């Protein structure tokens, strides 16, 4: 109803829909025409970009990302950091990629071409050309706009890291001169790094893409027109407001499927567009089903999906390096035709990459400086969605006796290498891609799940919803997330976030000792009296007279603390639940009972997923057979190698 009303009013010219309907402040406005040249793997482009100075101070230069230059040679910062490999895919040194700005001028004004200059704000590497500055003769005043006309040429690399080509498949991401984010007059415009994704401002994108006829095109936003140019090419125009980037793909071997997705009780009504490569058409039902689950889960738990389209791109096997990547309203997934049903990689990747539409797309997290706000929150969301739809104990792998949950998978990623870095840190300053992945994705996801277990599911759900609602179409920081968590929960959570987000310390509690010793009858000197020991020591005749001194010692082995529950069980079935604030290095509990201890177990409900060693969390007095949990974890560990390559 509402949508129809707006449409009628706008078609009568009564309102300007771009003002009325804007969900974000439109800082940027890009109008781009790009032509794909398949013979050279080149792009020829023209863009008009308008920028609003939304700060209170005049701004006297502009800064742009020229991210295809990450692939220009082997001395770019990305190539140096990565050694030319990304997620197991390697650069082809015969097929570099680059972008050249041929001409830039102020619309109807000064030619700025000679003013362009490469800068390297992060590492000073003179060979890196991924950021460009353009000093302006006259500054842009507060709330003023400047419009530039830019002509550029690009060549796509053979794809191994997100963007590029393979045969006649093309994935154009980070392909045009894109402005950085100006914050209070200062540009936030980082170089292209191995470990980091992206950050940009919201606005309007209208892009006309020209490709050989017969290519199937997918792109950010809605298609507003298409035409046959009569010269063997066709052009497709896409338009989207309230996004901060634009990506497109083209390939003659995509098969396109479209389906409406709507929810009756929420204002969600979008078109699902699947571009499935012919090689794995048999995976289409899995893509469609998991994308619907993602749309439903995120809409219900965080906020209704606000865009008219969502496009899933399934790259061919030769272009797997383009897989598992998010862009506004469009993402790439990953599958091969022989993927068994019980291995839920296509589902996990689909839900994860769709989910980025929320925590990178709609909430504009700065992935350079605080990547966990996207990857971590999104991995937590993915974990909850996977558990919800595929079973909490088998959401990732369900192959006969082998069952691995998404949470197990994140623990396997987290434990071996987390201790090198804290979660909150500049993305390019982690010791390795492994430490970045372990912390920013998995440890962050487990941190949020541990917080959920600590505060309760309902409180955590309100935190996430409030955070989304308050920060959508804006650029929050870690401090903003913490402020929402404290406000909604009504608790001081500084102790929690300071430890788990901001230090690399480890959390590990153990039951270090458990024993039951029979108390003896008094013997020795008691005042004036000497009591001789009884011949059978205990001096008692029958079992029921015995008294045991039962001791449990629990230990904090890691540097960090977390409140602990300890479940103490006795031979007669009695259970005692102890609470310990967990701050001292150890704590002893003593119980006098006519029976012995059976076991002591820390964190009996397994709430504290940040504890790096579950195996020392319990002790039984008489060694038992291996518990089913240990068996499952043991099996899971064997698959760790195999699972490592699934990390996105």
Residues binding Zn ion (CB under 5 A): 375, 648
Residue 132 or 440: which CB sits closer to Zn ion? Answer: 440
Query: Measured between alpha carbons, how far is residue 344 from residues 301, 334, 389 in Å?
Result: 22, 11, 11
User: Measured from the CB of residue 178, what is the shortest distance to Zn ion in angstroms?
Assistant: 20
Residue 374 or 452: which CB sits closer to Zn ion? Answer: 374
55, 184 contact by CB (below 8 A): yes
Residue 348 or 501: which CB sits closer to Zn ion? Answer: 348
Structure tokens of 648? 């996105």
CB atoms within 10 A of CB 83: 11
Residues 259 and 238: their CA atoms lie apart, in Å, by 18
User: Measured from the CB of residue 476, what is the shortest distance to Zn ion in angstroms?
Assistant: 18
For residue 40, with 0-12 CB atoms within 10 Å meaning exposed, 13-18 middle and 19 or more buried, which class applies? exposed
Axis crossing angle, helix 372-390 with helix 284-301, rounded to the nearest 10: 110
Report the first-to-last Cα separation within the chain, whole angstroms. Answer: 40
Within 8 A by CB and 6+ apart from 13, the residues are none
Residue that the structure tokens 């338009």 belong to: 239
DSSP structure class, residue 295: H
Angle (nearest 5°) at CA 224 between 221 and 225? 130
Residues 484 and 463: their CA atoms lie apart, in Å, by 6
Within 8 A by CB and 6+ apart from 556, the residues are 508, 509, 582, 583, 584, 585, 586
CB atoms within 10 A of CB 143: 10
Q: Which of 613, 605, 633 is nearest to 402 (CA)?
A: 633
In whole angstroms, how large is the CA radius of gyration of the chain? 29
Residues 135 and 60: their CA atoms lie apart, in Å, by 6
Residue 352 or 475: which CB sits closer to Zn ion? Answer: 352
Phi and psi angles of residue 218, each rounded to the nearest 5 degrees, phi first: -130, 150
3-state SS, one letter per residue, for 370-390: CCHHHHHHHHHHHHHHHHHHH
DSSP structure class, residue 267: T
332, 273 contact by CB (below 8 A): no
Residue that the structure tokens 């890291």 belong to: 161
CB atoms within 10 A of CB 563: 13
Residue 254 or 648: which CB sits closer to Zn ion? Answer: 648
**What is the three-class DSSP state of 112?**
coil
User: Measured from the CB of residue 648, what is the shortest distance to Zn ion in angstroms?
Assistant: 5
100, 74 contact by CB (below 8 A): no
Residues 374 and 367: their CA atoms lie apart, in Å, by 7
Which H or E run contains 349?
helix 345-356
Write down the H helix ranges in 478-616: 478-489, 494-500
Phi and psi angles of residue 24, each rounded to the nearest 5 degrees, phi first: -125, 165
Residue that the structure tokens 């990747």 belong to: 349
């Amino acid at each position: 109803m509402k949508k129809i009303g707006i449409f009628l009013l706008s078609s009568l010219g009564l309102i300007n829909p771009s003002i009325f309907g804007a969900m974000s402040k439109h800082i940027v406005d890009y109008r781009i025409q790009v032509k794909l040249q398949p013979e050279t793997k080149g792009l020829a482009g023209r863009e008009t970009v308008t920028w609003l100075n939304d700060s209170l101070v005049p701004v006297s230069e502009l800064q742009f990302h020229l991210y295809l230059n990450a692939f220009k040679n082997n001395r770019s910062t990305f190539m140096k950091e990565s050694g030319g490999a990304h997620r197991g895919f390697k650069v082809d040194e015969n097929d570099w990629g680059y972008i050249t700005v041929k001409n830039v001028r102020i619309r109807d004004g000064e030619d700025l071409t000679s003013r362009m200059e490469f800068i390297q704000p992060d590492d000073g590497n003179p060979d890196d050309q991924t950021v460009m500055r353009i000093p302006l003769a006259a500054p842009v005043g507060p709330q003023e706009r400047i419009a530039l006309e830019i002509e550029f040429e690009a060549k796509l690399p053979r794809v191994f890291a997100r963007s590029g080509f393979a045969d006649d498949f093309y994935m154009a991401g980070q392909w045009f001169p894109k402005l950085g984010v100006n914050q209070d007059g200062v540009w936030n415009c980082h170089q292209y790094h191995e470990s980091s994704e992206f950050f940009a401002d919201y606005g309007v994108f209208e892009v006309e893409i020209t490709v050989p006829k017969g290519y199937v095109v997918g792109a950010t936003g809605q298609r507003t027109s298409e035409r046959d140019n009569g010269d063997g090419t066709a052009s497709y125009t896409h338009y989207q407001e309230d996004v901060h980037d634009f990506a497109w793909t083209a390939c003659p071997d995509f098969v396109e499927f479209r389906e409406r997705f709507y929810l009756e009780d929420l204002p969600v009504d979008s078109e699902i567009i699947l571009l499935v490569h012919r090689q794995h058409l048999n995976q289409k039902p899995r893509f469609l089903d998991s994308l619907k689950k993602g749309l439903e889960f995120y809409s219900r738990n965080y906020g209704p999906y606000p865009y008219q389209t969502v496009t899933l791109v399934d790259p061919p096997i030769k272009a797997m390096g383009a897989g598992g990547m998010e862009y506004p309203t469009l993402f790439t997934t990953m599958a091969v035709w022989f993927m068994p049903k019980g291995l839920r990689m296509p589902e996990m990747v689909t839900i994860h990459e769709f989910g980025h539409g929320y925590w990178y797309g709609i909430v504009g997290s700065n992935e350079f400086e605080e990547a966990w706000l996207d990857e971590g929150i999104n991995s937590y969301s993915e974990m909850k969605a996977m558990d919800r739809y595929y079973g909490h104990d088998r959401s990732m792998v369900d192959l006969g006796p082998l069952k691995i949950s998404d949470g197990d998978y994140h623990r396997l990623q987290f434990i071996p290498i987390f201790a090198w870095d804290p979660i909150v840190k500049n993305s390019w300053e982690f010791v390795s891609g492994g430490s970045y992945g372990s912390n920013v994705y998995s440890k962050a996801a487990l941190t949020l799940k541990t917080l959920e277990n600590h505060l309760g599911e309902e409180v955590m759900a309100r935190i996430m919803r409030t955070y989304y609602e308050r920060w959508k179409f804006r650029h929050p920081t870690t401090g903003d997330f913490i402020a929402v968590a404290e406000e909604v929960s009504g608790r001081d959570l500084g102790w929690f976030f300071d430890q788990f987000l901001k230090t690399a310390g480890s959390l590990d509690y153990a039951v270090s000792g458990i024993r039951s010793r029979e108390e003896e009858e008094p013997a020795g000197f008691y005042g004036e009296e000497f009591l001789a020991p009884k011949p059978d020591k205990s001096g008692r005749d029958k079992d029921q007279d015995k008294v045991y001194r039962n001791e449990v010692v629990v230990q904090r082995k890691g540097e960090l603390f977390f409140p602990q529950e300890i479940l103490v069980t006795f031979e007669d079935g009695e259970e005692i639940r102890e609470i310990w604030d967990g701050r001292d290095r150890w704590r002893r509990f003593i119980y006098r009972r006519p029976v012995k201890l059976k076991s002591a177990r820390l964190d009996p409900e397994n709430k504290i997923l940040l504890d790096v060693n579950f195996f020392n969390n319990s002790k039984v007095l008489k060694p038992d057979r291996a518990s089913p949990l240990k068996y499952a974890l043991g099996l899971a560990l064997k698959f760790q190698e195999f699972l490592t390559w699934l990390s996105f």
